[in-house]
Amino acid sequence: MSVFPQLSMKSEVREHLCNVYTRKEVVSELDKDEVFEALLSCLSHPPLFTCLRASTHLHPLQETQHRLERHLEQQKRAPAVYTHPQLPDVLLLPVHGPRHVDLLAAEVIVGAQCGNAVLRGAHVFTPGILGTPKYMKVGDMVSVFSDVEGKCTRGAKEFKGKKVFLGNGVSEVDRSELFCSDGPVKGVAIRMTEPLYQSPSFDGVLTDEVFLQNLPSVVVGHVLGPRPGERILDMCAAPGGKTTHIASLMGNQGTVVALDKIRSKMEKIIQNAKMLKLDCIKAYCCNSIHAVSSDPAQENSADAPCSGLGQRPNMTYSWSLKEVCSYQPLQRKLLTTAVRLLKRGGVLVYSTCTVTLAENEEQVAWVLKTFPCLTLEPQVPHLGSEGMQGAGLSCDQRRLLQRFRPELVWRGARFAHSPENFLQNANTDTIGFFIAKFIKNGKKFTQA
Ligand SMILES: C[S@@+](CC[C@H](N)C(=O)[O-])C[C@H]1O[C@@H](n2cnc3c(N)ncnc32)[C@H](O)[C@@H]1O
């Protein structure tokens, strides 16, 4: 059973994706339509766990775990904070939902992005609000809905379009403060008191000790395996989730060069590095495709810009097929530079948060053909599934890849947490994600 509509997308994108997921060789032992339908359903729901990466370069994991438990107790929440046996810097918090919540007469409409954040435990911040009741005042109890199709106009007093219920909250602002000509007030506008999915809010909590990061993203840092004193290049770094993880794994010793082509995003890397007390990070605003260096890196992370189809929760995907397909050539340019800027014997980790074949397994097949100096390496830890068929990779090659496929375990939204399946759920009910690890051997690199 599902409480939300399946992820909706343009028919051309749906057909493109459906072709990948219903190919005979891809779904030999599974029911093809079921897997694709499960994918679209699970993507519109949040994962079963909130994953926090602890700053183990600053504090032992158990200390942070205890501080988080105390924080949850103060919030009158069950202090359930779990460690992960294979990820020594991860803390997992179960997400409970969907719960039964009664609808109220007063409706607040928020944008889809804001709605997705609410489903992952956030309160509603002022910029996310599109519509409120005409006379909404501080202290009013309201039901919050996501405008999943982007049809609600800002300042609306009612909305009849397609909306999805996210839970109830209490208003901390008057309507007049939200849509006034001087620009809206900042901060929390609706404090969620009865969210459909209950997951603690970490806004301003233990800010130098924990970083909200999806589990497969944390796996990337461990697969890269940086050591203190090394020189690492992070080519697509903002907001710095992986950069700060790499620097933390290095014990803040060595250099992590973090590049992002958007200046405001690059500044976010600097902010995050400062907050987590990591001064071995050097961030630059740069188009990585044109990056040059006289000192090649020992390890490169290319967490490529991608079509983002693995993100959860997401109820509407508005991109055209042309936009989705535009990422493959861009990623190839980034990979070409990544290979050039890597030392012999160095490691390259390529990752995306999307589910297409074109941006994942097909890229691996292209890399292996184009750069004979690169070979696939086993990944540790390997928590996801193997790579998908359909891109011409051998079984052995696919086994070296790591694809997080929540659709393979999706049994509907009311699947309860059970202690026996705790680890399996944490490792599988994740966002859709892909990781490939290459090593550069001695052969001279020549581009085909
Ligand atoms: C998937 S996000 C990276 C997330 C990041 N690695 C993290 O873990 O927090 C991709 C990033 O690549 C950046 N980007 C896109 N094209 C780029 C290019 N040509 N050069 C450098 N950065 C680029 C985008 O601005 C975006 O911030």
241, 256 Cβ separation under 8 angstroms: no
Beta-bridged to residue 403, according to DSSP, are 385, 434
pLDDT band of 33, cuts 50, 70, 90: confident
Q: What is the pTM of this model?
A: 0.95
Residues identified as active-site: 353
User: What is the rounded distance in angstroms from the CA atom of residue 338 to the CA atom of residue 232?
Assistant: 11
pLDDT band of 26, cuts 50, 70, 90: low
**Ligand 1 mean position to 392 CA, how many Å?**
28
**Ligand 1 mean position to 101 CA, how many Å?**
38
Q: Over the chain, what is the mean pLDDT?
A: 93
**Ligand 1 mean position to 104 CA, how many Å?**
41
Q: Write out pLDDT tens, residues 126-135.
A: 999 999 999 9
User: For residues 226, 429, 93 and 401, what is the CA-based torsion angle, rounded to 10 degrees?
Assistant: -10
Q: Write out pLDDT tens, residues 336-349.
A: 999 999 999 999 99
**Ligand 1 mean position to 23 CA, how many Å?**
31
SS3 for 402? strand
pLDDT at 282 exceeding the cut of 60? yes
- CA-proximal residue: ligand 1, atom 17 (nearest): 261
What φ, ψ does residue 77 adopt, rounded to 5°? -110, 155
405, 375 Cβ separation under 8 angstroms: no
Average pLDDT over residues 420-429: 89
- CA-proximal residue: ligand 1, atom 14 (nearest): 236
Angstrom CA distances, 347 to 96, 104, 232, 393, 419, stand at 39, 55, 10, 20, 37
Which atom of ligand 1 has the smallest separation from the CA of 287?
A: 20
**Does ipTM surpass 0.90 in this model?**
yes
- CA-proximal residue: ligand 1, atom 11 (nearest): 236
Which atom of ligand 1 has the smallest separation from the CA of 245?
A: 8
User: What is the rounded distance in angstroms from the CA atom of residue 60 to the CA atom of residue 209?
Assistant: 10
